[in-house]
Amino acid sequence: MVSLGDIRAAHDRIRAHIHRTPVFTSRAIDELLGANVAFKCESFQRGGSFKIRGALNAVLTLDDREAARGVATHSSGNHGAALAIAAGVRGIPAYIVVPANAPRVKRAAIEGYGGIVTECAANVPAREAALAEVVERTGAHFVPPYDDARIVAGQGTATVELMEQAPDLEQIWVPVGGGGLTAGAAVAAHGIDPRVKVIAAEPSRADDAFRSIANGRIEPMRNPATIADGLRTPLGQLNFDILRSHDVTVELASEAAIIAATRLMFERMKLVVEPSGAVPLAALLEASPSRRARRIGVIVSGGNVDLEALLEILKNPGGY
C-alpha cells in the first residue's frame, strides 16, 4: 500500500520539475450544480496532464544501475509523454509502445519529448507483447502506467496541492481509468482529512471500476467505446485494493454528458480539456443533488486533445 508519507516524499522529490497547477472556479457551473466547485487544472501541467507526477517519481527513484539502459512503458498517450519528459530530466532514453488508435496529438507529444515509439495493435495483449520485446531488446526498466506504488504516490501529490489551495473540501471527484490518480487521491485525502470523500468518475461505456467496486473483485474491461480515450485502460489491482480500503465510490457519466461537460468547460471557463478530464464534471451533472456535497474539488486530469476531432464531435455530438 501507499501512505501519505510516501506522497509527501514524492512531492519533495518532484516539485522542482513540475508546475503547481492552478485551481479555477466558475460561477455559472456553481449555480448549475448548486455547489462550490474548485477545479485543479492539470491540463496546465508539464506534458499537458497529471501523468508527469507519477512518471517523475518513478524515474527519480531508480538507482543509477536501474536507470542506465533507460525506461519503457506502453501508453495511449499521456503516460508515454510524461515518461519521455521524466527520462529527459534524468538524461536516459524512453521507449514507448503506443497503440495504433492513439490520438495523433498524443503520439506527436511523445515523439516531441524524445520518446522512441513502437506501434502495436490496439489491444492489451498486443501492448504487453510489444513491451516485452522492447524490454528484452533494450534492457530498459519498465515503468507501469498506473498500477505501481511509485506512480500512485506521485499522482497523489495533485490532491495534496488541491487541498492546500482549496481548503475545507467535502468531496474530491477524480476521473478513473487504470486508477493511479484516484488511488493517490484517496490516500492523500484520507491522510490529510478523513472526512473528505473521494469519488471516482468513469464513462458508462468503460465501467470496469464501477463493476469492480460493486462486486468486490476486479472485473474485466469490456470493449470500451468512449470518447474519453485516457480512461479506456482496465483498473489495476493495487489501485482497486486502495479504492476499496478507502471506501471510494464510482459515479458514471454518459457520452452525451462527457461531451456537454467538455463544451461547458470550454465555453464557461475558457479551458481546453480532453474528454477524460471532463468526466468528473459530466458525472456531477448527471448525479442526483443528494450525491453532491456543497464544497467539491475536481481534478481535471489533462488537456491533450486533437482539436479538429473534438470540434467535429462538438458540432455533431450524436455522431459519436
pLDDT at site 320: 57
Nine-digit cell at 211? 463493476
**Residue 193 and residue 75: Cα distance in Å, rounded?**
33
Say if 4-49+148-319 and 52-142 have the same CATH topology.
yes
**What are the domain boundaries of the chain?**
4-49+148-319, 52-142
| Sequence-ordered list of residues with C-beta below 8 angstroms from that of 134, at least 6 positions apart, any chain | 72, 95, 97, 118, 140
Position of cell 499521456? 78
What is the number of alpha carbons within 13 Å of residue 85 lying toward its C-beta?
23
Q: In the CATH hierarchy, which fold is given to the domain comprising 4-49+148-319?
A: Rossmann fold (3.40.50)
pLDDT tier at 319, thresholds 50, 70, 90 = low
Nine-digit cell at 99? 497503440
Rounded to an integer, the average pLDDT of 237-244 is 98
Q: What angle do CA 162, 249, 285 make, to 5 degrees?
A: 70
Rounded to an integer, the average pLDDT of 68-77 is 91
65-69, 92-96, 289-293, 307-311: the lowest-pLDDT one: 307-311
pLDDT at site 179: 97
How do residues 180-212 score in pLDDT, each as one tens digit?
999 999 999 999 999 999 999 999 999 999 999
pLDDT tier at 318, thresholds 50, 70, 90 = low
**Residue 145 and residue 55: Cα distance in Å, rounded?**
8
Pick the CATH number of 52-142 from 3.90.228.20, 3.20.20.60, 3.40.50.2300, 3.40.50.1100: 3.40.50.1100
- Classified as helix, coil or strand, 118 is strand
Rounded to an integer, the average pLDDT of 52-62 is 98
